[in-house]
Structure 1
Amino acid sequence: MSLLSLLLPMLRVYYAGLAVILHQLRRRLRSRCPPTPVFPTQNGKVAIVTGGARGIGYHTVKHLARLGMHVIIAGNNEREGQEAVRKIKEETLTGKVEFLYCDLASMKSIRHFVQQFRAKNCPVHVLVNNAGVMLVPERQTEDGFEEHFGLNYLGHFLLTNLLLDTLKQSGTHSHCARIVTVSSATHYVGKLHLDDLQSRCSYSPHGAYAQSKLALVLFTYRLQHLLTANGSHVTANVVDPGVVNTELYKHVFWVVKVVKWMTAWLFFKTPEEGASTTIYAAISPEMEGVGGCYLYNEERTKSADVAYDEELQRRLWTESCKMVGISDESSRAP
């Protein structure tokens, strides 16, 4: 592997991150803290949030639970998940939260999670695809997929498809069920290699991470196209939380760790701030019936040009179906 093939993706990712950080700083300096939006209560509704035990996911769960929603945390750490449930119940007092084990790096675990959820015979009004890994060293999931692509993207692709029937049954003409997927600004510099989605030819943790985040945007747009074509009362949107001070940065270059440690209080969003766009997409009345959007700071924003390539969206979807072992229903759609 050439040094250039490692350096270019890394420079692109850090460039994208720096651009977002500067934008966040300008926004913070320009205005006082905006008032916390007031959303309608969500009594009787059910949400599933992957990676809801920490960071952005934790604050998403807490906010939804506080509004009366029954929230299921899907995570791969039982102890951490149960502790998050305890804390959220303690803080919200009336919050209905529970934990179900789901390892997104295992197709078997995802299928078992869906079986457990279906056994509850309850609807799902909001699915938040939030969990992810970032810049991990080269390694594979239980099913042999490169970890960024396998966990960040394919795990959520399978989970969403397995829950799609329940989401369709839960949505109504006046209140659509919602799928919210968390991507990042790194998708702008991502390259999708359909002939090497597993990054086997030349592995770069930065390139693999950016590719997984671009795949999530392409997936969301294709999913919304299919939902619209089927007349389903379900919407799919993708959100960009910004650069957030979470635990995802443990694999970054050591210099970046030092800089983050010194400046995160000023430049980075807090996890609570990072969750705001996810929450907005999940429950805001302004997003009722609206799908196929890329949202940043609670506003519709243009994603990378390549993400709008419908042929690329179709090809990725078809290849993803093969990888996770489900039938490609989209082949009958326009």
Structure 2
Amino acid sequence: MTAEQTSPDQRYAAFRHRPFLSYWAARFLTTFATMIVSVAVGWQVYDLTRDPFDLGIVGIVQFLPSLLLVLVTGVVADRFGRRLIMTLSSLIEAGCAVALLLLTLRGLAGPLPIFVVLAMFGIARAFYGPASSSLFANLVPPEDFANAIAWNSSAWQTATIVGPVAGGLLYGLSAGTAYITAAVLMLVAALLVFTIPKPAQQTATDKPTMETLFAGFRYIWSEKIVLGAISLDLFAVLLSGASACCARHRASAPSASQSGWPATRSATMPARSCWASSVCSALSRFCSAFQPSPGCQSWPLPCSAPPTCSASISARR
């Protein structure tokens, strides 16, 4: 079936499966709540210290867990229930939002308690990512997998567009309002993940070795297209880190407001969303022409399958 022959119902094929619908809503709510916390924390820390360096620390303490645990999180997602990991991660993130709320109500003399909470928040996000990327491949049949990829990407893009704006507006009311809203959304996301029926999943039982830990790196190095795409993305993420300083520039502007910084952050998102939509549409047509390879039943690309179906490539077990 070509793109021109695709019926409107086929465009929403992935949503015919209730487990995927619950997963999609949970992923959207989690990302949306994360954006609210990120914006609110940035403004609160800068309001507290007026030091741009602390804005960098806010980003570092959330990123370092993902970097330091990169060899662990994927293995954990392969060996334990992915629904359980996602649920626990969402609950921990909700607990961190509540902790930020309590710290705000008590009053803060410095940013150190916020950094500690954000480090735990980053750890939860580090485990949530591989588990969520792996789970949705088990929630739809192979013929709807490409459509699920497109909608899964759309959930993230939409949340990153509207989340910062919502975070700024809520922080304009009060920091506590932003944190309690994020906590509620994450609790709802955890409940949605918990209601997903347990999918078929082959859990790895062999003892982890250095070979299995680095199998993903070897695969990326062997596939030059994947390596190039990831390398470009890494540079884009590195340069986009400058947006963390928007709080300082907005705060120094005569007409600064809490909604100004998130609006600035989300300004580039519509263009990214349009580009992602085009790519996902092309990917859906591209993937539909190929059958999953025997080595990794959910791998949609016509290249050689990776050595192991690790969580990092959304393996269907």
Q: What range is the shorter-chain TM-score in?
A: under 0.3
**Comparing both structures, which one devotes a greater share of its residues to strand?**
1
Q: Which has the higher contact order (CA 8 A, sep 6+)?
A: 2
Report which of the two structures shows the higher radius of gyration computed on alpha carbons.
2
**Comparing both structures, which one devotes a greater share of its residues to helix?**
2
| TM-score of the superposed pair, with normalisation by structure 1 | 0.25
